[in-house]
Structure 1
C-alpha cells in the first residue's frame, strides 16, 4: 500500500486526477446520449448509429494527433483548443438534429469526436513525471484504471437520470459542460505547464511519431486484439442472456466483469509483483484468455458470471503494466502521443470486435463468439511473449 499512500498524499496528482475524472466522465455518456438524441430527432436508429460511429472514429483519429501536439507545445493550449472544437462539434450535432439533417449530424459528430481532449493520455504523462519510483508509478496507473472504469460505470447512469427528468438534448449539453469544466480546471493547474523542453531540443517528431518506437507498435497491436476480444465478450454475454430469456441479467453480468476489473486494478497497485513487466503482461493475458475460455461452456448464467470474474481480474492490471512499459520505452518528448495511441487502439479494437460479433452471433451463436474472444486474447498473449525483447527496450 506504500505506493497508494505516496499517490494519495501528492496534492498535484490528486488535483490533476480529479479534474481529469470530471473531464473524462462525458466519454462514458456520449454513446448513450447521442444515440438517444439522434434517434429521437430523426426517428432512425440507423442515423443514430452512424452518428455514434462517426464520433468514435473521430475520437480514434484525433487522439494521437492531439497527443503529439501536446508533446510539442505542452498540454494547456492543446486541451483548450481541442475542447473548443469538441463543444462546437456537439453544438453542430444539436443544430443538425433540430433540422433533421442526417448528413450534418454525422459530419458534426465526426468533428466533435476529433476534438475530444486527450485528458487520459496527458494525465498519464504527468504522472510519469510526478512518480519516478516504480511502486508509486504502478499505484498511479492503477488509480488511472479505476478512474477509467468509473467513467464507463457512472456515465450511462448519469445519462439515464438526466433523460428521466429532462431529455437527451440536456444530457448532451451536460456532458459538454462537464468536458469544458474539467479541461479548464486541468489547464489552470501547475501540472499543465509545458514540460517538453526535451522534445523541442530533439526537434520535430519523425513522421511516425511515437509509432517509431518498436515497443509501441507491439503494444498497439496487443491493445487492438485485446479490446476486439472485449467487444466480442460483451456481445456474447448479452446474446447468451437473451437466449436464456433473461435480458436484464446480461447487464448485471457485464457489471460483474467491470467490477472484477476494478478490483484487479486496486489489487495490482497495492504491492510489487515478481518478474519483469513484459513477463507480467504475458501472464495476465494468458489468465484473461483462460477466464474468457471458461465462459464458452457456461450454459448456466451463474456459471457464466463466475467465469467472468477471473477474466475481469486480469484486464485492468494488464493495462497498468502496458502503461508502465510505455513510460519506460518512450522518451518523454513523445509519451503523450504514445499513451494516446493506446486509446486509439482500444477504441478501434472494441468497435471492430463489436461489429464482428454482431454478425458472428447471428451466424453461429454466442458460444462461438466467446471462443473467438478467448482465442484473440491468447493471440495477444503470444504476440507479447514473442516481442518480449522489444518491450524490454528503454527510451531513456
Structure 2
C-alpha cells in the first residue's frame, strides 16, 4: 500500500516537474494547436460526403490529405531542426490555415473531385505537426535542465496523452458539428485554431530552446549527422500500430453498421482513446528499473493478446468492453517507442525523428483503413479485426528482434543520457 502511494506521488511529482519546465500556458496552446490535425482528416471526409454526395470523392480527398501529411511531415521536422521551430511553425500554420479554408470553400462551391483532392493534399502537406515538435521541445527543455530520466519519461507520457486526448476529442467535435449544423463549421474552427494557437506555440519563449543551431565550423553549416539504423525498426513498429488503429477503426465501423447502430462507432473508438490516455498518464509511475526495451516488448505483446478477442466479438456491449480494454496497450507503446527514438537519434535531428515517427503512424493508419475498409465490406468485420491482430503480431515480432541503443555520436555531440536497460534505458 505504502509502495503504491509512493509510486503515485512520484508520478505526480514528475508531472509537476514537467509543467515547471514549460509553464502552464505551453501545454494549453500546444494542445489546441494540435487539435486541428485530429479534426481535419475526419472532417474533410464528412464535408465532402455532405456537399458532393459522393463517398468516393470523400475518400479520395481524405486519402490525399493523409498522403500529403505522411510525405511532408519529416520535412517539417527537418526544417525545424535546421532553422528553429519558431519560423517553421509560423509559416506552416499560416499556410495550413489557408489550405483548410480553401478546402472548405472548394467543397461548398461544389469543386470537382480532383480539385478537392489537390486541396486536401495541400492541407495535409502543410500540417505544422505541433504534436511532434512540442514533444521535441519538451525533451530539449528537460535535457537542458539536466532533468532525471523519470522526468524525461513523464514528459513523453504527458505529450502522448495530449495526443491521445486530441485524437479522441477532434473527431467527436467534428461529429457533433455535423449533427448540429454542418462539417464546414468544424473545419473552419480548425483553421482558426491552427492560425491562432499554432502562432502562440511558435512565439512561446520556450521556442528559443529549439532555435537554429550554431554553425559547426567557421563559415559553414553544422554537418548533418546520419540517422542510425535502429530508428527503422522503431518507425516500423509505429507504422504497424497505425495499421492496427486503421484496421480496428474499419472493423468497429463495419460491426456497428451490421448491428444497426452506426452512430456508436465514434463512441466506441473514443472509449478506446480515453483508456489509452489514462494508461499513458500512468506510465510515469512505471519503475525505472523496467527498461525501455522490456516495456516495448511487453506493450506489443499485450496489444496482440488483447486484440484477439475482437475476432469473436459480435455484440455492441462486447465491442465496447474489448475495445476499451485494448486501449490499455496503445499509449504505453507510443510513449516507449518515442522514448527509444529520442535516445537513438542525434540531438540535432530530434524534431525530424519525432515528425517521421508521427508520419509513420498516420501512414500505417491510412493504408490499413483504406485496405481493411474494403475487406470489411466483402468479408465482414472479422477480416478487419484479423488484420489488426496481424499488425499487432508483427509489431511484437519487431520489438523482440530489434536492439535499439542510445546514440553514440562524435565527441561533444551525444547529449543523451547513456542508460542501460536495467535502469530504464535502451539496452538489455
- Would you say same fold, with TM above 0.5? yes
8 Å contact kept, 1:198–1:332: no
1:63 correspondence with 2:73:
yes
1:331 correspondence with 2:342:
no
| Offset of residue 154 of structure 1 | 1.8
| Offset of residue 186 of structure 1 | 1.1
Q: Paired residue for 1:314?
A: 329
Q: Paired residue for 1:100?
A: 110
Structure 1 residues 291 and 160: alpha-carbon distance in aligned structure 2, compared to 1, 3 A threshold: closer
Query: How do 1:140-179 and structure 2 match up within 5 A?
Result: 140-163=155-178, 166-179=181-194
8 Å contact kept, 2:36–2:193: yes
| Offset of residue 196 of structure 1 | 5.1
| Offset of residue 56 of structure 1 | 1.5
Moved more, 241-250 or 68-77: 241-250
Structure 1 residues 199 and 240: alpha-carbon distance in aligned structure 2, compared to 1, 3 A threshold: farther
| Aligned residue-pair number | 391
Moved more, 230-239 or 174-183: 230-239
> Could you give the per-residue CA deviations for residues 264-317 of structure 1, whole angstroms, max 9, x where no partner exists?
101112342543212210111000100001221233443343333442111101
8 Å contact kept, 2:141–2:209: no
> What residue ranges of structure 2 are gaps of 5+ in the alignment?
1-10, 415-428
Moved more, 306-315 or 260-269: 306-315
Q: Paired residue for 2:308?
A: 293
Give the TM-score taking structure 2 as reference length.
Answer: 0.84
Q: Paired residue for 1:22?
A: 32
What SS does the corresponding residue of 1:117 show, helix, strand or coil?
coil
> Partners in 2 of 1:298 and 1:37 — Cα distance?
31
What SS does the corresponding residue of 1:337 show, helix, strand or coil?
helix
Q: Paired residue for 2:385?
A: 370
Moved more, 62-71 or 215-224: 215-224
Return the match for 2:244 from 226, 229, 233: 229
Moved more, 22-31 or 239-248: 239-248
What SS does the corresponding residue of 2:312 show, helix, strand or coil?
coil
| Offset of residue 241 of structure 1 | 3.0
Give the TM-score taking structure 1 as reference length.
Answer: 0.91
1:117 correspondence with 2:132:
no
> Partners in 2 of 1:369 and 1:160 — Cα distance?
23
> Partners in 2 of 1:241 and 1:40 — Cα distance?
21
Structure 1 residues 229 and 8: alpha-carbon distance in aligned structure 2, compared to 1, 3 A threshold: same
1:8 correspondence with 2:19:
yes
1:244 correspondence with 2:259:
yes
> What residue ranges of structure 1 are gaps of 5+ in the alignment?
none
> Partners in 1 of 2:179 and 2:319 — Cα distance?
32
Moved more, 236-245 or 67-76: 236-245
What SS does the corresponding residue of 2:311 show, helix, strand or coil?
coil
| Offset of residue 81 of structure 1 | 0.9
Q: Paired residue for 2:364?
A: 349
1:261 correspondence with 2:272:
no
